[in-house]
Chains A and B, each alone.
Chain A
Amino acid sequence: MQSEMKIDMPAQHKKMSLKAIVRDAGIGIALLVLILIFSITTEHFLAPNNITNILTQITINLILAVGLTFVILIAGIDLSVGSVLAFACVVAGKVITIEGLDANTAIFLAVIASLLAGTLCGLLNGLISAYWGLPSFIITLGMLNIARGGALHISEAQTIYSFPEQFNDFGSASLFGIPVVFLVALLLVGIAGFVLHKTVFGRMIYGIGNNEEAVRLAGHPVFWYKVMAYTICGLMAGIAGIVYMARLNISSPIAGIGFELNAIAAVIIGGTSLMGGRGSVYGTLLGAFIIGVLANGLILLGLNDFMRQMITGVVIIVAVVLDHYREKMTTGS
């Protein structure tokens, strides 16, 4: 029995990851279909330049969605990510334009400031909703307003501009045709995947999403794990803020309005359950791609704004419904 077990284990492991791949591939198939459609119907879709564009365009949404994956996995939600992005962006903008700093110091301080600002907002979201056990929906809705108001206040509603050249260069740099900012996002996906699937913390995130009480009774500090999830989400919004600045070379207090909805859509399309406990950050990556490819392809098709909006809505719903059936199929067998 014992030895049998041991022999069995590597095989089990393989199967497990294989099943995970099949599971994630479900939404991947939807993505491939979209890519196929656009490759046939539009002329430039597969052009290297366009692929670079798509990668650039999904970067910010992807970074926000990675953070949201943590929060949604514990059955929470963070509506404030778009505003926190703006807040972090404006704080960093103020720091980077301080007069008399040399460029490198300014950039360094700005990055730190942005990450801190985002982390702080996330930490507050987590502390407040976890401590009083309040619905994160309403707490983060409050934070949405606080962060947006903060961004407008700090910037006096002015767009902040004229950043150091090396900072701007970073935003538009690319490696073998892949935008560096996208590589940053991809790195974050990898780190998040590692954390979620290979660490105790990740295990706890899934556990809390499935049954918080059981995890608490097993002697784990559920409170801190929850706070951590929101803090990571805030940190990601801070990173997204810096990326926004580097890409567009401005800090705008009205940046990121409505971004939370696209990010949530990416997470859910990627197969993460709004009820928590189920899903993965790799699915989120695919979800972000679906949204980005769709936005890009529909413009290439030359559709008007309103048609595009409608089709985007339809695709979101179809993707989630299909995912529901696929999930049923895989667990049913």
Chain B
Amino acid sequence: MTMLKNIGSLMLIASLCSGVAYAEEKPVVGLIMKSLANEFFRDMLEGTKEHEKSRGDYVLKAVGMQNETDFQSQINAVENFITQEVDIIVVAPADSRAMIRPLKKAIEAGIVVINFDVSLDADAKKKQNLELAFVGPDNRSGAKLAGVALANKLGAGGKVVIIEGNPGADNAIERKKGFMDAIEEHDLELLASSTAHWETEEANSVFSNMLTANPDIQGVMAANDSMAIGVIKALEAAGRAKDIQVVAFDNIPAVGPMLADGRLLATVDQFGRDMAANAIEKGLAVHRGGPELSGWIKTDIKLVEASK
């Protein structure tokens, strides 16, 4: 078994030698994404490919995952990139703790590591003695923007529910915190909060049931647009589309029509398409000898509101 592994890595190195020779001058960027089944990341990857083409001064190697929580493949990907001696690793971690050790190894191997999309856990970073900057949007303040938009529409005392993302996922946690910030600051009343695992059909069912239990709901905060679509369908089925407001997050194309006719009050665009490209820009700058990055380099977020 080890024998096989050794042969395997030898072959890998051999194949890499030719690769390195080809890309002698251009730095190699290893991009580790989350699930490409998620259209947010898929879109991001497209944006990055365009970026690579338009700049033309680096080589992109991108890896996607099976699903949102597949951190094992991400760890493998980091290790492979170390073996391949890439110059820069740009990573959207699937797990904010599990990724720390392999990324530390990469830094020790002299690779510039940029963390984007989801921040690594601060405590864990400290314990492992890792200094690493984070390039990404502030999910919490984004969600708060949406929450505030809802609060402004409903006024103080408005009764709301939250449809959460996957339990334990960092962006799900951050977005919920942002919604809660808006609720507290604007004196909204939270009736219920439940996960629908980012999924339309589940959100539809879960929200229908919430509405039955709490017929006095006035507003819904959905942690992503896909779930908001399910919520809006449920509202239509119940004949409550007019008097219950929905806000969400992501600004995917499918919610365009809903924003246009006001079924969706607002969503948050975090310019996902450019996010990885931005992180790569930052990495390239450091690679060329620019100053080391530290702390949280926030990327743009914007509230997109209904046109009606």
**Which A positions have Cβ atoms within 8 angstroms of B?**
42-44, 47, 49-50, 53, 56-57, 60, 148, 152, 156-162, 172, 244, 247-250, 252-257, 295-296, 299-300, 302, 304-306
Contacts and interface: CB of A to CB of B under 8 A. Distances in A.
A104 to B, nearest CB: 21
B37 interface: yes
Interface in B203-257: 204-206, 208-210, 212-213, 215, 226, 229-230, 233, 236-238, 252-254, 257
A248 B213 contact: no
A159 B39 contact: yes
A254 B38 contact: yes
B139 to A, nearest CB: 20
A161 B37 contact: no
A244 B199 CA distance: 12
A299 B204 contact: no
A43 to B, nearest CB: 8
A248 B167 contact: no
Nearest to B40: A157
A229 to B, nearest CB: 26
Given A156-B42, A161-B254, A306-B167, A250 B212 contact: no
Given A157-B39, A299-B209, A299-B213, 16 more contacts: A49-B238, A53-B208, A53-B212, A152-B36, A158-B39, A158-B252, A159-B254, A162-B257, A247-B201, A248-B201, A249-B229, A250-B229, A254-B198, A255-B200, A295-B209, A305-B195
B209 A60 contact: no
B20 interface: no
27 contacts: A44-B212, A44-B213, A50-B209, A53-B209, A53-B212, A56-B205, A56-B237, A148-B37, A157-B36, A157-B37, A158-B254, A159-B39, A159-B200, A159-B229, A159-B253, A161-B229, A247-B204, A248-B233, A249-B229, A249-B233, A250-B200, A252-B200, A255-B200, A299-B213, A302-B192, A305-B164, A305-B194
Contacts of A306: 167
B116 to A, nearest CB: 19
A296 B209 contact: yes
A292 to B, nearest CB: 9
Contact of B257 (A56, A156, A161, A248): A161
A328 to B, nearest CB: 35
A57 B205 contact: yes
B192 A300 contact: no
A44 B210 CA distance: 11
Contacts of B167: 305-306
A252 B205 CA distance: 16
Nearest to B204: A248
Interface of B: 36-39, 42, 164, 167, 192, 194-195, 198-201, 204-206, 208-210, 212-213, 215, 226, 229-230, 233, 236-238, 252-254, 257
Given A158-B42, A248-B229, A305-B194, A300 B253 contact: no
B213 A42 contact: yes
Contact of A299 (B38, B194, B253): B194
Contacts of B226: 159, 252, 254
B242 to A, nearest CB: 16
A65 to B, nearest CB: 15
Contacts of A44: 212-213, 215
Given A50-B212, A158-B39, A305-B195, A60 B233 contact: no
Contacts of B208: 53, 56-57
Contact of A248 (B209, B215, B230): B230
B189 to A, nearest CB: 14
A306 B193 CA distance: 12
B237 A299 contact: no
Contacts of A304: 194
B173 to A, nearest CB: 13
A47 B201 contact: no
B253 A158 contact: yes
A120 B229 CA distance: 30
Contacts of B199: 252, 254-255, 257
B253 A244 contact: no
Contacts of A249: 229, 233
A249 B206 CA distance: 17
A43 B204 CA distance: 21
A43 B215 CA distance: 11
Nearest to A149: B37
Nearest to B206: A299
A256 B209 CA distance: 19
A50 B252 CA distance: 31
Contacts of B229: 159, 161, 248-250
Nearest to A304: B194
A250 B255 CA distance: 10
B163 to A, nearest CB: 11
A305 B206 CA distance: 10
A225 to B, nearest CB: 33
B263 to A, nearest CB: 11
Contacts of B38: 157, 254
Contacts of B209: 50, 53, 57, 295-296, 299-300
A256 to B, nearest CB: 8
Contacts of B215: 44
Minimum-distance CB pairs A-B, first 4: A157-B42, A299-B209, A159-B254, A161-B254
B131 to A, nearest CB: 34
A44 B215 CA distance: 10
B236 A172 contact: yes
B267 to A, nearest CB: 14
Contacts of B253: 158-159, 161
A249 B254 CA distance: 10
A309 B39 CA distance: 27
A248 B254 contact: no
